[in-house]
Amino acid sequence: MNRLLLFASDCGKVECLLSSFEKYFNVQVIEANYKQIVNEVLSKDTQCVFVTENSLKSQIIFNKFDKIRAAICYNQYFVQMCREHNDANVIIIPLDNIAQNVAVHFAQGLSQVEFDTKTTPNHQRRVNKLNLIQ
């Protein structure tokens, strides 16, 4: 089974997607406040798929925490680029715009793509700059 992937929500709609995610991932479900979710992501050194109805608010809140790089993802390309280029550890899926099966593909992309520092060193420089701000 794949490494642990956190699956969280602030809108109470976790159950509608959970069965799809459990087929593919070692999933831990969290329905908690942002700080608890961040603590789980950092303590377990994993990624989180966060499902919400207010994606911009969630992105702003998550990115206020040290060592969290959250990105709203509307398609698979965003997931790949956010993970590969910015070492995103939280992807935010706007539930009102994304179908259930698409959300599963986003999670697969998040768990399969690694942060790329070898082929393009400026990715690490970018993340270092982000870390200086925090």
Farthest-apart Cα atoms in the chain, separation: 40
Count structural domains, the chain: 1
Token reading at 56: 């911009």
Tokens 């702003």 label which residue?
60
Amino acid 36 reads: Q
CATH of the domain at 127: 3.40.1400.10
Give residue 92's pLDDT. 92
Domain that holds residue 67: 5-132
pTM above 0.75, yes or no: yes
DSSP state of 48: E
Sequential pLDDT tens for the chain (134 residues) = 456 788 887 776 666 666 666 666 667 777 668 998 899 889 988 888 888 888 999 999 999 998 899 999 988 899 888 888 888 999 998 877 776 667 777 877 777 788 777 767 777 787 788 777 76
